[in-house]
Amino acid sequence: MIVDDIHDDDKKILQNNSDNPNKQSTDIVGHDNSLVNLTLQSYNDLHFNDNNLRRSERIKIKTLSINENKNHNVIDLSSNTNIIMDTNVTKLDSAILMPQKKIDDSLEGRVLALLQLKYSQPQIVKILKKDGIKISQQTVSNIKRNIGPQRTSFDKIKFSRYRPVATPSTISKANFILRKKQKVHKLTSSNVEKRRQRAPRLYRQLASNRYKNFITTDESWFYLDGTEGKRKVCYVKKSDPNYERMILEQDSSRPQGFMVWAGISSSGKTSLRFVRPGVKINSDYYINHILKPLLSRDIPRLFPKNKKNKIIFHQDSAPSHVSKKTIAFLNESKINYVKPEEWMPKSPDAAPMDYSIWGYLKQRLNKQKIGNLNELKKKLLYQWTKMDQLYIDKVLAQWPKRVFLIYKARAFHIEHHLK
C-alpha cells in the first residue's frame, strides 16, 4: 500500500510513541489485516509536507480509528477509504512501505545464464517450469533490463509510467510520419554498378528539354481481376458489423488478361497494339507487329519530316528488344535509339511508361466493373484516347530528374526520395 499523506494528529501520535520506550513502533493495518512496521525514523525520512503535495496526489482517509494494543498503537484502515492518485508518481509520492517478494540471487543468475545462451523469455519460463520453478515473463524481463533484485524499485515505477516508443501518440510527438512502403525491383551488385555508370550519360541525353526528342515504349499486362471496382478497405459499425462487406473473393486460377504495347512522346501517343493470346513475343513478332507499324505509321504521324532525324527511340532491356536480330533491324532503319549498353537494367523507376502511364490506366480501369476481355479492351482504348497530353508532358518532364536522382543516390532505389 502507498501512503502519501499523514495528518498532524497522526504525527503527534508517532512522536508520543517515540518518547515511550515500551512502545517502539506504530503499525498500519490494511484491508488484508497485514501489519507494516513504520518507525519514526522512516517517517522523518519521507519529509512529508502538505503544501508541497497536490490535492490529486493525496490519499484521503474518510475514517481513521486508533485502537489500543499492549505492544502497539494500531491505526485501523480497514474501514471505507477513498484513494485518489495522480498518474505522474514522483519519488516523494512513492513511499513503498510494504516490501514485496525479492528475486532470489541464484534464480537471477540462472536466468542471466539462459539469456546469454540466446534463449527467449518464453523459453526460459518453460525451462524453469520443468525444474519446478515458477517465474513470469515479466520477472525475466526485469532481470534482462537490469532493474535489480527488488522488483518494486523506483526505477521500475518510473519505467512503467511511460508508454512504449511504438505508440502513435509518441511517434507523432517525435515528428515521425507514416509512409507506405514502395514495391521495387531487387538490385544486384552488378545492376547497381551498371546503373551508376550509365546514369550520367542518359541524363545528358535527356537534360535541357532534350527529352522532347524521345519516344518511349513498353508492354504491360491487363487482367480482369484488377477491374472489379471493389475497394480493399471498408467501414463497418462496431455495434453491428457487416461481415459480408469485409470479404473480398479472389479466383485462385490464373486470371484472364492480355498484353498491350504503347508509347508516348511530347508530340503525342502511339496507337495501342494488343498482343494475340498465346503468342510468345520473340524477335520476329516484335519486329513485324510492333516496330514496323511504329516506324511506318506512328512516327510519321507524330513527328514532321524535319524532326525525324532528331528522334530517339527508347525501349527497355527485354530479350526480344535487345536480340541481335532486333538490333540489326533498328540499324537498318537508320533510327536513333538507346542502345542496350546505354540503358540501365532493372530500372522501371527511370522509364515513363512504368513509373506513371501504366499505373494511371490501371487505376482508372480498377474503378469500373468489367465482365469480359472485349469490354476490357474497349475501356482501355477509351482511357488511352482520353488521356490528356498535358499529363504526358508532366510525366516526361520528370524523366531527367529521376535519372539525376539515381545518380545522386549512387544507383540505388529512389522511390523513398519522391513525394
In this predicted structure, what is the pLDDT of residue 318? 94
Total domains, the chain = 3
Question: Which three cell numbers mark 271?
Answer: 496507337
- Same domain? 284 vs 346: yes
| Residue 130: per-residue pLDDT | 86
Contact 33, 98 (CB under 8 A): no
| Residues 278 and 157 grouped into a single domain | no
- Res 32: pLDDT: 43
pLDDT at res. 38: 41
Cell numbers describing residue 365: 480501369
Q: Residue 217 forms beta bridges with which residues? A: 263
3-state secondary structure of 128: helix
Q: Are residues 146 and 278 in the same domain?
A: no
pTM of the full predicted structure?
0.58
The pLDDT, as a whole number, for residue 43 is 41
Q: Which structural domain range is residue 71 located in?
A: 8-83
In a domain, 240, yes or no: no
pLDDT score at 239? 72
Give the pLDDT of the chain (419 residues) as one tens digit per residue.
444 444 455 545 445 544 554 444 444 444 444 433 444 444 444 444 444 444 444 444 333 434 444 444 444 444 444 444 444 444 444 444 444 566 777 888 888 888 888 888 899 998 898 888 888 888 888 888 875 444 444 444 444 444 555 555 555 555 667 777 778 889 999 999 999 999 999 999 999 999 999 999 999 999 987 655 566 667 777 677 666 666 766 665 667 899 999 999 999 999 999 999 889 899 999 999 999 999 999 999 999 887 878 899 999 999 999 999 999 999 999 999 999 999 999 999 999 999 999 999 999 998 888 889 999 999 999 999 999 999 999 999 999 999 999 999 999 999 877 76
Give the helix/strand (H/E) hosting 75.
strand 73-76
In a domain, 94, yes or no: no
Within a domain: 146: yes
Q: Are residues 283 and 379 in the same domain?
A: yes
C-beta separation of 80 from 63 below 8 A: yes
Are both 168 and 209 inside the same structural domain? no
CA distance 226 to 135: 53
- Residue 385 and residue 296 share a domain: yes
Grid coordinates belonging to 399: 524523366
If asked whether residues 126 and 74 sit together in one domain, one would say: no
Cell 529512389, residue?
A: 414
- The set of cell numbers assigned to 284 is 520476329
Q: Within this chain, do residues 204 and 346 fall inside the same structural domain, yes or no?
A: yes
Q: Would you give the DSSP letter of residue 131?
A: T
| Rounded Cα gap, residues 412 and 196, in angstroms | 8
Q: Are residues 33 and 111 in the same domain?
A: no
Instruction: Examine residue 163 and state whether it is found in any structural domain, yes or no.
Output: yes
222 with 359, same domain: the answer is yes
Residues 271 and 361 in one domain: yes
Q: Which pLDDT score is estimated for 104?
A: 79
In order of 74, 224, 335, 365, 402, the CA distances from 119 in angstroms are: 49, 49, 66, 52, 47
Amino acid identity of residue 73, one-letter, is N
Model pLDDT, residue 246: 67
